[in-house]
Amino acid sequence: MLCAIIAAAAVVALAWIAGGQALLGRIDPALCVPLLVPPMLLLGWWNRHDAAAVRLRAALFGLVVLVTAQALLALSLAGSAAWRQLALTIVAGALAASLADAIVQWRPRVSMLRWAAALALAVGWFAAGHAMLAALYRPAVAVRGPAVTMLTGLPLRWSAGGDMAAMIAQGTRDDPALARLTLAGPLSLVDSLADHVPPPGGTLLIAHPRALAPQELVAIDAFVRGGGRAVVLADALSGWPARHPLGDPRNAPVTSLLTPLLDHWGVTLGAAPTEGDGAALLADVEGARLRLSSAGRFDLLPPTCRAFADRHVARCAIGEGEAWLVGDADLIFAPLWRPVVPGADHLRQADTMEWLAARLWRGGGHGLLDPIWIRAPAL
């Protein structure tokens, strides 16, 4: 059974190094799936002269070792049983072992055909495994409820051009954050809340807006207190790239201009840290992984608020409604959350857009599988 242990260890090592676990800070057993075939082919080759029953026992033992190792790693590093990913790994591992054994035992007239079949299986399995995982980790589209009303000062629309002629020539080319939110559910991007208050049962997303008129602040407060839901991204020091010269009013505000609203809610947003190496700050909020950049901390919160991630995020009951407050708007900047491979939702760097979708649309933000993140260090 030593060969089976070696094969299982090879899968674990491949998942950690080449499967994205170390790179992404994940311990998902499912990330093993695309890499199962090469070790199974090697195990089948080692046992090629044994009887079918012996080969079957070796494959099953190797699969048990693999699943046990991944379960222990998930429990110790993430505190999660990851049973859905483990179940998928078991099924995929059994199939991979069967196919690998069939190819090893195949005796074609031309021996090179067996090697070609083994290579085709490894490559095809790798591609199919990643395609399957991308679909399983992709959140469902929210189709119920009214459109989310979004107000922002960030350059999310017409994000590609530096002048009007260039924007007209290139088209809207929405920022990836806006494009992803639009795919997640119905969304209405507005310039002012004076005449665009969310409908009853709707949700409001305020992402680092420019200075709001008093009537807009009153409308936001009345909407939330009346039972509405809001997500507020109030950045103490925005690092969003400027498209225009320094000081141009078309750029996003450098710091949050929501102080009057937050003060009215009894919330004080502290200054962003001035020290640090510029690395993203990992924050776990209700099982979701967020990556923050130069995030401000809520120094003062009323008793009706619950703080997360060392007070960088808060959930507050305000009147009959609820508001999620985040001291960072840069978290929706694409390099902080976008998958390392476009379209590969299972290789995403953070749950930012999924976390937002779950709070903006009821029933949104979750796929059949969710990432298993290694616990973030204490902030």
pLDDT value at position 247? 59
DSSP codes, 316-351: EEETTEEEEEES-SGGGSGGGTS-SSTT-GGG-S--
Euclidean distance between CA atoms 350 and 371, whole angstroms? 9
Q: Same domain for 177 and 128? A: no
Query: Do the domain assignments include residue 116?
Result: yes
CB 316 within 8 A of CB 265: yes
Query: Do the domain assignments include residue 366?
Result: no
**What would the mean pLDDT of 219-223 be, rounded to a whole number?**
93
Query: Do the domain assignments include residue 375?
Result: no
| Domain stops at, among 88, 111, 137 | 137
Using alpha carbons only, give the angle 205, 295, 316 rounded to the nearest 5 degrees. 50
- Identify the weakest region by mean pLDDT among 122-126, 150-154, 219-223, 272-276: 272-276
Euclidean distance between CA atoms 42 and 23, whole angstroms? 26
Residue 378 in this model has a pLDDT that exceeds 50: yes
Torsion 30-35-41-46 (CA) sign:
negative
CA nearest to 206, candidates 223, 184, 183: 223
CA nearest to 144, candidates 362, 359, 367: 362
For residue 159, what is the enclosing H or E element?
none
Q: Please, which residues bridge with residue 290 across strands?
A: 283
Euclidean distance between CA atoms 231 and 290, whole angstroms? 15
Residue 220 in this model has a pLDDT that exceeds 70: yes
CB 181 within 8 A of CB 356: yes
In the chain, the amino acid numbered 213 is A
Query: Do the domain assignments include residue 369?
Result: no
Euclidean distance between CA atoms 315 and 76, whole angstroms? 28
pLDDT value at position 1? 78
Q: Residue 168: pLDDT band by 50, 70, 90 thresholds? A: very low
Number of domains in the chain: 2
Tokens standing for 321? 């409604």
Outline where DSSP puts E strands in the chain. Answer: 148-152, 187-189, 203-207, 229-233, 268-269, 281-285, 288-292, 298-300, 305-308, 313-318, 321-326
Q: Please, which residues bridge with residue 231 across strands?
A: 205, 324
- pTM here is 0.88
Q: Residue 152: pLDDT band by 50, 70, 90 thresholds? A: very high
Distance of CA 262 to the CA centre of its chain: 28
What percent of the chain has pLDDT above 90? Answer: 65
In the chain, the amino acid numbered 228 is G
Q: Please, which residues bridge with residue 230 across strands?
A: 204, 323
Query: Do the domain assignments include residue 251?
Result: yes
pLDDT value at position 167? 47
Query: Do the domain assignments include residue 58?
Result: yes
Tokens standing for 324? 């999620």
Tens digits of per-residue pLDDT, 276-287? 556 788 999 998
Q: How far apart are the first and last CA of the chain?
A: 44
Tens digits of per-residue pLDDT, 287-332? 899 999 888 899 999 999 999 999 999 999 999 999 999 999 999 9
CB 221 within 8 A of CB 261: yes
Residue 69 in this model has a pLDDT that exceeds 60: yes
- The CATH number of whichever domain residue 172 belongs to comes to 3.40.50
How many residues are present in the chain? Answer: 379
Residue 272 in this model has a pLDDT that exceeds 60: yes
Q: Same domain for 281 and 190? A: yes
Torsion 112-115-119-120 (CA) sign:
positive
Tokens standing for 122? 């490894």
Give the pairing of strands 298-300 and 229-233: unpaired
Tens digits of per-residue pLDDT, 329-342? 999 999 999 999 98
Query: Do the domain assignments include residue 60?
Result: yes
Euclidean distance between CA atoms 215 and 6, whole angstroms? 68
Q: Same domain for 261 and 351? A: yes
| Domain stops at, among 137, 167, 197 | 137
Q: Same domain for 209 and 67? A: no
Sequence-separated (6 or more) residues with CB below 8 Å from residue 277: none
**What would the mean pLDDT of 249-272 be, rounded to a whole number?**
85
Residue 21 has a CB neighbour count (10 Å cut-off) of 23
Q: Same domain for 174 and 322? A: yes
Q: Residue 199: pLDDT band by 50, 70, 90 thresholds? A: confident
Euclidean distance between CA atoms 336 and 229, whole angstroms? 25
Tens digits of per-residue pLDDT, 225-256? 999 999 999 988 877 776 666 656 667 777 78
Structural domain boundaries enclosing 348: 148-360
Tokens standing for 127? 């591609």
CA nearest to 84, candidates 374, 377, 372: 372
Q: Same domain for 153 and 130? A: no
Euclidean distance between CA atoms 314 and 308, whole angstroms? 6
Q: Same domain for 207 and 325? A: yes
Q: Same domain for 63 and 161? A: no
Average pLDDT for the chain: 88
Q: Same domain for 14 and 129? A: yes
CB 29 within 8 A of CB 71: yes
Query: Do the domain assignments include residue 365?
Result: no
Residue 352 in this model has a pLDDT that exceeds 80: yes
**What would the mean pLDDT of 60-85 be, rounded to a whole number?**
94
Q: Same domain for 123 and 35? A: yes
Q: Same domain for 89 and 157? A: no
